Structure 1
């Protein structure tokens, strides 16, 4: 009898121990799942892989750029300061915030050897205080004659050199299929590069996705050419990502045989597409804020690796939000680098979660 009792006690002890062991395994499983998820989150805090790239800063979003530049500093080759544009007298000027941002970057990151570019855009302030963006009439004024081009080149190079920048970036847009204007622009690029090179000023030329390369335009060798690989979906389109693999490969194919160094630019952030057709740009931080506000869980689109979620706002309007995070950008970089030894750029610093 005593032996039976002892055996029963031993059996009960084993059951209790096994139960405790199972509880411990369950706890470890749950914690393991959380850790695995946390590891995924932490991976986003690691720097981009081996890639080096250029970035843009903008005059309208300077609040947290020091932290973002700090997170990416080991990977940044060039910082492009966006942007100088034109007053009502069609004279170029540099906004004060651009000058202050440039000074701050030079102070905060003086141990790093970033090259700096001053970006010029064909945006024009009007007398009534409004703006004409991508103004092609302005371009005709600046580029139509050799004298006009020479004066324009002298003016913008003087601003670039006096400002302390290493290079000049031209981002003149809106020409679409105006081949006459494209030919004037190409002549300007050639003359700018020759004059800038003599003064040891670097030159970058930004091109829109719709640049009509099929027209056999004779772009000169020498400058770095940057093709914008974004806004596949956005204003005036159905909901979708800023870029996907098919679009990137199309841009790469389009630029085959282009002279000089070719640089492919991808974009952070995304768009909030409302059911009524209204489209609003959002940064990554703004998108994440919406995720938390409406308790949504984004899904990752397979073709673009962008994040997407839907929500219903307080007025009952449904929205679909597409945006890029660091994993998205890395995927786009991978697609580009797998296609050739191309250079990379990120539009833009501000509103991102890189740290």
Structure 2
């Protein structure tokens, strides 16, 4: 699969001719609504086997082969060039499709307003062939140890029809916010904790869930050991009942990291008692914060590198956003929140405003600026094929278990095409 970035003056027909495919196939796979209006800087995936690489300044046969995980002599043979021949800037080399690695893939879906929307059902149906787990968000813990489930509709049936494991996400959400008081109540009352665990197992059996996933956030730092003890007890009971057991972790870079979202999450302990963890490596750029990439790869790498000192990569699911944000400038803390939008909507917005999409190489993230009808400046950070390929390469490099998406319902067709091109996706049992 080739990633192509649109340059000034290019047309879809010309791009298709360049790669020897039909322009209709490119428009279909990228879900381009107006093939006659491409955006400069827009990335798209081209449906070819393998890809082409164009030699850049400083490249050598050895450096290119290393970048793509192959032998430099094999690269020379495939492209019918001598190992000792100098490369020219702009020279095109064919890179064959690399051996695929098996990964697990999770996606959360968050039905709000008491029902599963048709858009969420459609997104779940479309994504399910690429998923190992589907995680309706969430089963909220009540103070009497009962559970308030999310709207489920036919989501469990869609999962079963596609060989996807249903993940039961259990949270300490109360009145729409993660509650440290609710956490304190259960983590320090053994009898209440036992009742909760029993209710979770009963509910999972009744509704056909196969993985129990704790997403307890914003816990009191002093409840770190209490949370560990609770998870030890829960793990024994839940795994003993035949379920998988997993947790969600805040993105830490050290065991001593301070902050209400981090201190109660003990990476090493979670790695010991779970089948796997989801690390929430996103939201550096968030709706209430200053403009920046949602998941800059440099920050993601720091978190994952730390995690690998506490647990094996085979237990780590890297978190990944399926959305971006549109900030109104100047940013004022406590002021107007940024608007979430899908990658497809971001491209459409750039087209409507007639602005080019730029790419931050350090963050591995696309962005653009525009002025609205009121004359206010905006900046949009989002995800595209390039940023996703960078994350997939990181998963391979670090030997991670897989990837977990937050959340379904925001269109991003290039992601799923690239995911399938990069990996063999393990299906449920």
Bigger helix share: 1
What's 2:72 paired with? Answer: none
What's 2:413 paired with? Answer: 354
Deviation digits for residues 132-157 of structure 1 (CA, Å, limit 9, x no counterpart): x0111110111112212112211222
- Distance (whole Å) between structure 1 residues aligned to residue 247 and residue 221 of structure 2: 17
User: Quick one: which of 195, 219, 231 aligns to 2:237?
Assistant: 195
- Are the equivalent residues in 2 in contact too, given 1:45–1:354 (CA < 8 A)? no
Secondary structure of the 2:363 match is coil
CA apart distance, 1:90: 7.0
What's 1:79 paired with? Answer: 134
Structure 1 residues 73 and 152: alpha-carbon distance in aligned structure 2, compared to 1, 3 A threshold? closer
Secondary structure of the 1:162 match is helix
Secondary structure of the 2:393 match is helix
Structure 1 residues 198 and 88: alpha-carbon distance in aligned structure 2, compared to 1, 3 A threshold? closer
User: Quick one: which of 176, 181, 184 aligns to 1:140?
Assistant: 184
What's 2:169 paired with? Answer: 119
Q: Does 1:318 align with 2:377?
A: yes
Structure 1 residues 29 and 275: alpha-carbon distance in aligned structure 2, compared to 1, 3 A threshold? closer
What's 1:332 paired with? Answer: 391
Q: Which has the larger radius of gyration?
A: 1
- Distance (whole Å) between structure 2 residues aligned to residue 182 and residue 246 of structure 1: 28
Q: Does 1:207 align with 2:244?
A: no
Residue range with higher mean Cα deviation, 49-58 or 312-321: 49-58
CA apart distance, 1:213: 2.4
Structure 1 residues 77 and 29: alpha-carbon distance in aligned structure 2, compared to 1, 3 A threshold? closer
User: Quick one: which of 316, 338, 342 aligns to 1:283?
Assistant: 342
What's 1:20 paired with? Answer: none
Residue range with higher mean Cα deviation, 56-65 or 327-336: 56-65
Structure 1 residues 32 and 227: alpha-carbon distance in aligned structure 2, compared to 1, 3 A threshold? same
- Are the equivalent residues in 2 in contact too, given 1:81–1:119 (CA < 8 A)? yes
CA apart distance, 1:65: 3.9
What's 1:159 paired with? Answer: 203
User: Quick one: which of 216, 232, 236 aligns to 1:172?
Assistant: 216
- Distance (whole Å) between structure 1 residues aligned to residue 47 and residue 203 of structure 2: 38
Deviation digits for residues 195-247 of structure 1 (CA, Å, limit 9, x no counterpart): 00111011110011148623794615231111111112224433221112211
Residue range with higher mean Cα deviation, 295-304 or 270-279: 295-304
What's 1:55 paired with? Answer: 107
- Are the equivalent residues in 2 in contact too, given 1:228–1:266 (CA < 8 A)? yes
- Are the equivalent residues in 2 in contact too, given 1:58–1:81 (CA < 8 A)? yes
List runs of 5+ in structure 2 lacking aligned partners.
Answer: 1-9, 30-43, 49-96, 257-262, 415-429
- Are the equivalent residues in 2 in contact too, given 1:283–1:351 (CA < 8 A)? yes
User: Quick one: which of 318, 333, 343 aligns to 1:264?
Assistant: 318
Deviation digits for residues 91-140 of structure 1 (CA, Å, limit 9, x no counterpart): 42112x2x20424514xx61x32111011222113xxxxx4x01111101
Count of residues in correspondence between the two structures: 315
TM-score (structure 1 length as normaliser): 0.78
- Distance (whole Å) between structure 1 residues aligned to residue 169 and residue 238 of structure 2: 14
TM-score (structure 2 length as normaliser): 0.65
Deviation digits for residues 162-195 of structure 1 (CA, Å, limit 9, x no counterpart): 11111111111113xx432121111111111100
Structure 1 residues 196 and 328: alpha-carbon distance in aligned structure 2, compared to 1, 3 A threshold? same
- Distance (whole Å) between structure 1 residues aligned to residue 305 and residue 290 of structure 2: 25
Deviation digits for residues 5-51 of structure 1 (CA, Å, limit 9, x no counterpart): xxxxxxxxxxxxxxxxxxxxxxx999534644958764638699755
List runs of 5+ in structure 1 lacking aligned partners.
Answer: 1-27, 126-130
